[in-house]
Amino acid sequence: MADQAAVDQAGASVANLQLDEVTGERVSKSELKRRQKQRALEEKKAEKAAAAAAAAPAEGKKKNKEEDESQLTPNVSGSILHSDALHCTE
């Protein structure tokens, strides 16, 4: 009799579980909702990161070295040229 009660109780708890289609696990309804909400947030973050990555290269195009040097003052460009010369001799 005690074994039958344990089987009935286990069967009832399994009946209350929902199937998580992504993982294939059987979980409680509240756990399933929590997982679905977390997946939705992760998906939104991934979309946002992809959009930011796509926009970043278009905005941040690098200028060539001559254009960068033309923007410098004589004092700054001289110190950069001096440091470049030091690196070349090493």
- Which tens digit of pLDDT belongs to each residue from 71-85? 666 665 455 555 555
Question: Could you tell me which of 28, 30, 9, 7 has the C-alpha nearest to residue 19?
Answer: 28
Which amino acid appears at position 1 of this protein? Answer: M
pTM: 0.48
The string of pLDDT tens digits covering residues 15-30 is: 789 999 999 999 999 9
**Residues 29-76: pLDDT tens digits?**
999 999 999 999 999 999 999 988 887 765 555 556 666 666 666 665
